[in-house]
Structure 1
């Protein structure tokens, strides 16, 4: 009987122990203060375009370049005839003639506005052709390597050593000096620089894991280059292309200053060429086109430099 009572008491104690309610435990996880900073850093690095558009140089020189382009391409609808000579000869800038007139009595505002079309078209057309040739040749050379890489690099080196100024002089003597010929010559002699950048990027990207996975999945080389290599190589290509715009405008202006250009559509450089005989008597003939060339090239180069800093934040830092 005593043994039975002991067993009952032990069972009762175990039931009471099982029915005891434990207090709720509050678990707190403290996140280090440095974590939001790291997340913000990764987020800013993942959006270089946002960094680029917030840079002071972009906020100033971007609208400046847009204004110059709008004036050059929309302004002809609001200015007079650039070849009309029904105006006073060498009239200084005034309310009636904001930029004065030239030696033949033509409104200089109309001529400067029309001249901007030629300079900007040459600059951006050359940059677009250089980017196209560079992506094609550099992408194939960097992705495939081997004999294809060697052959395409030799072709790029051949075009790179061609003297652009001499080639332009020869082409102008044989074919005539028009805007199409000038754009073609500048593009032929300037695209190897972009091609070398694309080749280096294609060689780097082709060794990455997702490209190897695409190869293993059986995708063709052309599809991998178009869908994986070229899109990921575009940031440094865009930087190099933006620098090409300024170089092309300067070279075209220099050729026009030497008298090699389209006489039917004078550019800012051609206006400077015609103004060199009137530097002392009509200062405005050289100041306005020269200032526009300076501002345009400065804006393009500053935007390219800002783009380089945004996509390559560690470039130029001492480690």
Structure 2
């Protein structure tokens, strides 16, 4: 194909290399948060650890035996007959650790779910609408933030009895305020962005803008905070059970540590195994929360 005279003149007049500069380079695709998350070996490792602990806690008690049966020799160290030994009443310690894991994990994930629900509802309304609604809801957040959790747990246990549901309610009431504050800050920031203002100008109702535009874009830090709440709830529940505030009919890892206090010098396994389970779960949840934060906020901490 030959060029006419005008095309030859234009080509000759174009500086060298301008042809390549005139064509924009292809846009690089941004990696998805899931891709960033699963690209981290440490995230995959701790995800497997947490998933294994959850599966063991769910299905382990089915095969672990009766946690209250007392027909075995007492204070036996780990052996082929009793993999985790027995306690001072002759109860199989593996069965008790498995049942305790089910209760402790149930408390941790239930408290996290309740904290996330309360925090998202209250924080999003306060941050999005502002004004009098914001002032009232912030005062409510500050009121619940000032409640001492340990004192409330002692009072509730004395009045309502120390059962798992009471412990979950107490922990949720005293721990949801952190999620609410983060959600409020994110909702207030997003409410000032251009696409939210455009939705308002188009006449969309506030609840629709909050549901479709604000909440999906504000959930990243909330999800990260919620993952941290799981570990915190397990630690606080274990501490309450260690102090004797717990359901005596349902063993937890914290109550097993409480029962092991008099035998720390003579029966090391009674404190080692429930303490190790608490350590692994809390460490896995915190590491996954950190990896999730890096995946949802890839520019944080990047050297510029």
Give me the TM-score of the superposition, normalised by structure 2. Answer: 0.91
User: Secondary structure of the residue that 1:266 maps to in structure 2?
Assistant: coil
1:68-83 equivalences under 5 Å are 68-83=53-68
1:30 aligns with 2:15: no
Gaps of 5+ in 1: 1-20
C-alpha separation between the residues in 2 aligned to 1:316 and 1:168?
Answer: 39
User: Secondary structure of the residue that 1:92 maps to in structure 2?
Assistant: coil
Equivalent in the alignment of 2:163: 178
Aligned residues: 293
Equivalent in the alignment of 1:312: 297
Equivalent in the alignment of 1:84: 69
1:51 aligns with 2:36: yes
CA RMSD of aligned residues (A): 2.1
User: Secondary structure of the residue that 2:104 maps to in structure 1?
Assistant: helix
1:150 aligns with 2:135: yes
C-alpha separation between the residues in 1 aligned to 2:141 and 2:256?
Answer: 34
Equivalent in the alignment of 1:274: 259
Equivalent in the alignment of 1:195: 180
What are the Cα deviations for residues 62-112 of structure 1, in whole angstroms up to 9, with x where unaligned? 000000000000111111111111111111101111101111111110100
C-alpha separation between the residues in 1 aligned to 2:274 and 2:143?
Answer: 35
C-alpha separation between the residues in 2 aligned to 1:97 and 1:80?
Answer: 11
Give me the TM-score of the superposition, normalised by structure 1. Answer: 0.87
1:218-233 equivalences under 5 Å are 218-233=203-218
1:1-319 equivalences under 5 Å are 22-23=2-3, 30=20, 35=25, 39-40=28-29, 43-44=30-31, 47-316=32-301
User: Secondary structure of the residue that 2:260 maps to in structure 1?
Assistant: helix
User: Secondary structure of the residue that 1:89 maps to in structure 2?
Assistant: coil
Report the alpha carbon displacement of residue 218 of structure 1 after superposing the two structures with TM.
2.2
C-alpha separation between the residues in 2 aligned to 1:57 and 1:239?
Answer: 16
Equivalent in the alignment of 1:9: none
Report the alpha carbon displacement of residue 252 of structure 1 after superposing the two structures with TM.
0.3
What are the Cα deviations for residues 152-205 of structure 1, in whole angstroms up to 9, with x where unaligned? 001001101111111101111111111111111111111110001101110111
User: Secondary structure of the residue that 1:281 maps to in structure 2?
Assistant: coil
User: Secondary structure of the residue that 1:78 maps to in structure 2?
Assistant: helix
User: Secondary structure of the residue that 1:39 maps to in structure 2?
Assistant: coil
